[in-house]
Amino acid sequence: MAKIIHTADLHLRADEKVYCYAVLDEIIELAKAEKADFLVIAGDLFDSFADFESLRKEVRHKLFHLHEAGCRVIYIPGNHEARGATSELSAYSLDPVQFYARAPFVFFEADGVEFICVPHAENYDGYRDWKVPAKREGVTRVAVLHALNSTIYTGPDEESDSRAGVIEDDFFRRFSIDYAALGHVHAGRQQSLGGATACYPGSPRVWRAHAREAGLKTVCVVETGGAPVATRLAEIRSAGQYKEYTLPLGPDGEASLPEIQKIEAGLTNRDLVRVKLTGIVENEPASEAAAAALRERLLKRARAACVDLETTVAEALYSNELTKSFLAELDAIKPEDETGDEYRRWLLARQYGLQEIAERSGEDK
């Protein structure tokens, strides 16, 4: 029986070194605490070739200590290591890290586990002709891949500017895979695929301000020996989380303080927070100032913060007679308490009303 810690998509960046190394160190500590036999990194350990170049010596040093502690490190490049590459990744040695960048695959056995390590490629069309040995009796076979599979993941590609190679379900059955250690999809998921337990452990860090980065950040702990293999997720706490909020701007063009405080209360200094400001405002400079001030506040609570203005500027709207009477009527029923749901509903009603008037006055012209 062997124990494997499976991770992918750390996207280590030189300009986020402190955060990235906290995440990597936690994974290394977990591997030690679990007395894992293998740490498998299924691609996109680095965010770009430039990050690979500037960080690989330090990262190798960290992983060297894990190797010394008895845990072998197996790593294949994803699509990101090749970004902006000026030389072949297969020319690099990260010894004692077992870095497999040579296409199409590298096969070996260690501690009763057969590994098929497949570095990222634009496509894997020729896999039916690969000379993979027949599976030996009693071993567990693990495929390490940085690829998209359309059965386990039906959403859009992680990135809009580059696609990962696509791997077919047949691959897993054809090569008698027991566990597919996958990378590329940042929101984790697991499913039985062609007889294999296929798993995207998800990115163990928050890479960018995007809804698909939301949720707990985890790595997968795999124990071989049984069929199917036993898996469980382990949370990486230093990663923090991606948190997204929508905040309607009030009549004065400001976000309500109790609402901001509610957001602040839910943040840790590891989180990446994004707030979308909505509403109809009289002029842009005011809402821009509100956004900048909010960002300042959030940065005191979170690792990173972005505030997006999704407001509509309608200067003329406020001089419109219909608007004036609408706002006067609304002001008369404004809830006293600005902290409750009732106030939030009132604010939204005000916003939708103004939008409606803006659209209608547009039609008249």
- The residue (of 210 and 237) whose beta carbon lies closer to Mn ion is 210
Residue list 178-207, contact with Mn ion (CB under 5 A): 184
Q: Which is nearer to Mn ion, 186 or 270 (CB)?
A: 186
Give yes or no for a contact between 4 and 36, defined as CB atoms under 8 angstroms apart.
yes
Alpha helices in 163-275 (DSSP H): 169-174, 257-265
How far apart, in whole angstroms, are the C-alpha atoms of residue 171 and residue 141? 13
Nearer to Mn ion, 3 or 80 (CB): 80
Residue in 7, 48, 79, 311 binding Mn ion, rule: CB under 5 A: 79
Smallest Cα–Cα separation from 239: which of 172, 304, 153? 304
Binding mask 275-314 for Mn ion (x = CB under 5 A): ----------------------------------------
Give the orientation angle of helix 257-265 with respect to helix 284-299, to 10 degrees.
30
Shortest approach of Mn ion to residue 199 CB, angstroms? 15
Smallest gap from Cβ 242 to Mn ion, in A, equals 17
Give the C-alpha separation, 258 to 247, whole Å: 11
CB-nearer residue toward Mn ion: 82 or 347: 82
Binding Mn ion by CB under 5 A: which of 11, 23, 31, 44? 44
Angstrom distance (rounded) from CA 177 to CA 121: 19
Q: Residue 8 Cβ, how far from Mn ion at the closest point, in Å?
A: 8
Q: Which two tokens stand for residue 110?
A: 């260690």
Tokens of 193: 């695929």
Q: Which is nearer to Mn ion, 10 or 247 (CB)?
A: 10
CB atoms within 10 A of CB 115: 25
Binding pattern for the stretch 3-42 against Mn ion, x by CB under 5 A and - elsewhere = ----------------------------------------
Smallest distance, Mn ion to C-beta of residue 58, A:
22
Q: How far is CA 219 from CA 31, 169, 193, 305, in A?
A: 10, 23, 20, 25
Q: Which stretch binds Mn ion (CB under 5 A): 45-53, 61-69, 79-87, 335-343?
A: 79-87
- Among residues 135 and 163, whose Cβ is nearest to Mn ion? 163
Q: Does residue 213 bind Mn ion (CB under 5 A)?
A: no
Cα torsion at 218, 21, 80, 180 (round to 10°)? -30
User: What is the closest distance, in whole angstroms, from the C-beta atom of residue 100 to Mn ion in the complex?
Assistant: 16
Instruction: Tell me the closest approach of the beta carbon of residue 200 to Mn ion, in angstroms.
Output: 11
Taking CB under 5 A as the criterion, the residue among 6, 27, 76, 78 binding Mn ion is 78
Nearest alpha-carbon partner for 5 in 80, 69, 83: 69
Torsion angle, alpha carbons of 167, 186, 20, 115, to 10:
-30
- 280 strand-pairing partners: 312
**Which residues sit at the interface with Mn ion, rule CB under 5 A?**
44, 78-79, 184
